Amino acid sequence: MSTLTAIVLAAGLGKRMKSTLPKVLHRAAGWPLVLFPIRAALEVGADAVVCVVSPEVKEGVASVLANELPGAPITIAVQAVPRGTGDAVSAGIDSVTSERVLILCGDTPLVRADDLRALIGALGDHELCLMSALLDDPQGYGRVLRDEQGRVVEVREHKDLRTDAERAVREVNAGVYVARTAALRTALGRITADNAAGEYYLTDAVALAAGGGGALAIAGHADNLLGVNDRSQLGQAETLLYQRIARRHQVAGASIRGDARIDAGVAVGVDAVIEAGVAIRGKSSIGAGAAIDVGCVITDSQIGERVLVKPYSVVTESRVDAGAQIGPFAHLRPASEIGEGAHIGNFVETKKTRVHAGAKANHLAYLGDGEIGEGANVGAGTIFCNYDGFQKHLTVIGPGAFIGSDSQIVAPVRIGRDAYVATGTTVTKDVPDEALAIARVAQENKPGYAPRLKARLAAAAAKKKKP
Ligand code: UD1
Ligand code: MG
């Protein structure tokens, strides 16, 4: 039997997002919104999570969860029609076997484990404890109404407020609750849709618990409770998340400068330096002592220790091993693997190419579908001609080989160990180990020809200018 189950409400229509994508699947700092409360619940020890969704998003949410939290104890319950938060909890509570239940909203990504721990700790013998916050602008939120002794009486929704005094109440309901399961079940059975929205409000369970003196509200920090109902709040929440993530890495010993945006799922090693204008996205990791310079975009990639990624480089679904140097202005496309100490310089594009330790391609090259051996040197302007219009073909360059500048390597082809390809060669046949490959038109010099050529060209230009 589980001791604490979390119910995450994610079946609302999210109309205010004006989107074809369900609200809880919109991303902030790299994660779908619904993932934040689920992770927070798991972090505070919920041993089961029930995620309540609408029939239309069931599959989408299930696939996100299977992808992002494989094996986690999460089940999905369907709320057939979005008839309010109370009805949504009813849809989820059937599968709850624990004595206590934690309720979270799928649209509050800033909710923090520390606040949840305080909330759970405060429940004591009460029936229900909700989290509140003091807001300067409480507009739109449900207000926590208290009696003269300061005891919680009820939560009244904004639409249902009756007096100016009620509207002036700045303590709002954050939409996060912990309750005794049995009492909550009873309360849910008694909630009606008799209100301005015609919905079954979960907040009515607060008044029912308060009737017996069993409701409590404790205040959390306002920033942590922001609910995402529209795109502007999504932007606000994301800004706060990026700040929070940066602070976490800074405290752990990395330098995060300026407005660098590091997604929630990124790992950063100590002494890493991440400059302004960098975006590190998805499931990426940055090794200890690595430096990611201004303007780089790194997505789903593993960057090793002491790697230097110079300004404005783009790295996607790739791996860069310890001590390698990338950029400036390099583009590592998916399945690039850059070995230890290798150099990929400016205006070099790689794709599905493995560059072994110490190999170098310092300037202006396209290296697609290839393997470049240890210590090989690929000159400026080298192109792997990997595509014949129908199929991709492989280029293999042996260890220690030298590829002269402006060479075209027409795949499929193999260049042997310590081979030498002369500048400007079009390689169409395999090159044996230690061989020299040269394929270019022989040079011819015509003595004294330059002044004669210039005179002729000048005369032609002058003739053209005359009216
Ligand atoms: C709710 C609270 C309000 C609180 C605010 C905090 C109620 C009645 N009101 O209002 O007191 O101040 O959150 O952010 O609870 N949902 C469902 N099924 C439904 C309706 C909603 O699953 O039928 C889900 C939504 O997906 C969302 C959450 O419940 O994740 C909250 O719903 P929302 O419509 O955003 O409620 P608020 O108006 O924000
Ligand atoms: Mg909301």
Residue 164 lies in a domain: yes
Q: Please indicate, yes or no, whether residues 382 and 266 belong to a single structural domain of this protein.
A: yes
Using a 10 angstrom Cβ sphere, with 0-12 exposed, 13-18 middle and 19 or more buried, the burial of residue 125 is exposed
Q: Please indicate, yes or no, whether residues 297 and 432 belong to a single structural domain of this protein.
A: yes
CATH of the domain at 43: 3.90.550.10
Would the CB of 220 count as within 6 Å of ligand 1?
Answer: no
Q: How much distance in Å is there from the Cα of 53 to the middle of ligand 1?
A: 13
- Alpha-carbon distances, residue 389 vs 213, 392, 393, 416, 425 (angstroms): 76, 8, 11, 26, 22
Residue 462 lies in a domain: no
pTM comes to: 0.91
The number of beta carbons lying within 10 Å of the beta carbon of residue 442 is: 4
Residue 208 CA to residue 46 CA, distance in Å, equals 25
- pLDDT recorded at residue 2: 58
Would the CB of 37 count as within 6 Å of ligand 1?
Answer: no
Buried b (16+ CB within 10 A) or exposed e, 276-293: ebbbbbbebbbbebbbbb
Residue 346 CA to residue 338 CA, distance in Å, equals 15
128-134 and 171-180 as β-strands: parallel, antiparallel, unpaired? antiparallel
Residues with catalytic roles: 363
Given the CA of residue 202, which atom of ligand 1 is nearest to it? Answer: 15
Q: How much distance in Å is there from the Cα of 10 to the middle of ligand 2?
A: 10
First-to-last alpha carbon distance for the chain, in angstroms, is 99
Domain boundary among 188, 210, 225: 225
Domain boundary among 198, 225, 252: 225
Residue 310 CA to residue 237 CA, distance in Å, equals 30
Q: What is the phi/psi pair of residue 281, to 5°? A: -115, 160
Residue 335 CA to residue 124 CA, distance in Å, equals 53
Q: Please indicate, yes or no, whether residues 238 and 211 belong to a single structural domain of this protein.
A: no
Q: Name the residue range of residue 9's domain.
A: 4-225
Q: Please indicate, yes or no, whether residues 375 and 291 belong to a single structural domain of this protein.
A: yes
- Alpha-carbon distances, residue 394 vs 38, 73, 384, 391, 416 (angstroms): 44, 44, 9, 10, 14
Q: Please indicate, yes or no, whether residues 218 and 346 belong to a single structural domain of this protein.
A: no
Q: Please indicate, yes or no, whether residues 407 and 286 belong to a single structural domain of this protein.
A: yes
Q: Please indicate, yes or no, whether residues 169 and 240 belong to a single structural domain of this protein.
A: no
Residue 265 CA to residue 235 CA, distance in Å, equals 18
Would the CB of 83 count as within 6 Å of ligand 1?
Answer: yes
Q: How much distance in Å is there from the Cα of 74 to the middle of ligand 2?
A: 22
Residue 15 CA to residue 22 CA, distance in Å, equals 9
Q: Please indicate, yes or no, whether residues 160 and 291 belong to a single structural domain of this protein.
A: no
Counting ligand 1 atoms within 8 A of each CB, the residue from 7, 38, 85, 203 with the most, and so the one to mutate, is: 85
Would the CB of 201 count as within 6 Å of ligand 1?
Answer: yes
Which tens digit of pLDDT belongs to each residue from 261-287? 999 999 999 999 999 999 999 999 999
Would the CB of 106 count as within 6 Å of ligand 1?
Answer: yes
Would the CB of 107 count as within 6 Å of ligand 1?
Answer: yes
> Quick one: which ligand is closest to 107's CA?
1
- In total, how many domains does the chain have? 2
Contact yes or no for 418/403 (Cβ under 8 A): no
Half-sphere exposure (Cβ direction) of 341: Cα atoms closer than 13 Å: 8
Residue 405 lies in a domain: yes
Residue 452 lies in a domain: no
Given the CA of residue 197, which atom of ligand 1 is nearest to it? Answer: 8
Residue 445 lies in a domain: no
> Quick one: which ligand is closest to 106's CA?
1
Q: How much distance in Å is there from the Cα of 174 to the middle of ligand 2?
A: 9
Q: How much distance in Å is there from the Cα of 29 to the middle of ligand 1?
A: 22
Residue 97 CA to residue 235 CA, distance in Å, equals 37
Angle at 127 between CA 122 and CA 132, to 5 degrees: 50
Look-up of token digits 């790739």: 318
Residue 165: which region, alpha, beta or left (left: phi > 0; alpha: psi -120 to 50)? alpha
- pLDDT recorded at residue 23: 92
> Quick one: which ligand is closest to 87's CA?
1
Q: Please indicate, yes or no, whether residues 72 and 30 belong to a single structural domain of this protein.
A: yes
Contact yes or no for 37/51 (Cβ under 8 A): no
Given the CA of residue 142, which atom of ligand 1 is nearest to it? Answer: 11
Residue 289 CA to residue 308 CA, distance in Å, equals 9
Would the CB of 132 count as within 6 Å of ligand 1?
Answer: no
Q: Please indicate, yes or no, whether residues 209 and 334 belong to a single structural domain of this protein.
A: no
Both tokens of 40, joined, read 């927070």
Q: How much distance in Å is there from the Cα of 29 to the middle of ligand 2?
A: 19
Residue 70 CA to residue 145 CA, distance in Å, equals 41
Q: Average model confidence (pLDDT) for the chain?
A: 96
> Quick one: which ligand is closest to 195's CA?
1
Residue 188 lies in a domain: yes
Q: Please indicate, yes or no, whether residues 348 and 406 belong to a single structural domain of this protein.
A: yes
For residue 412, which of 371, 461, 453, 442 has the smallest C-alpha distance?
371
Residue 467 lies in a domain: no
List of the chain residues with pLDDT < 70: 1-2
Q: Please indicate, yes or no, whether residues 266 and 310 belong to a single structural domain of this protein.
A: yes
Residue 432 lies in a domain: yes
CATH of the domain at 406: 2.160.10.10
